[in-house]
Structure 1
Amino acid sequence: MAPIVLFDGICTFCNGAVQFLLRHDRKERMQFGALQSEEGQALLQTYGLPQQEFQSLLVIKDHRIYKKSDAALELVQELGVWWQPMRLFRVVPRPVRDAVYDLIARNRYKWFGKNEHCMLPAPNVRHRFLK
Structure 2
Amino acid sequence: MSELRERPGDQPLPTPNEHADIQSQVIADIEARRDLGIQRYGTALQPHNGRDALRDLYEELVDGAMYVKQVMVERATAATPVEHGRRIHAVIFNAVTEESRALDRFLSLTDRDKVTAAVVAALAAHGYAIKQVGGAE
State TM-score, norm by structure 1: 0.23
Flag the structure with higher strand content. Answer: 1
Flag the structure with higher helix content. Answer: 2
The structure with the larger Rg is: 2
State TM-score, norm by structure 2: 0.23
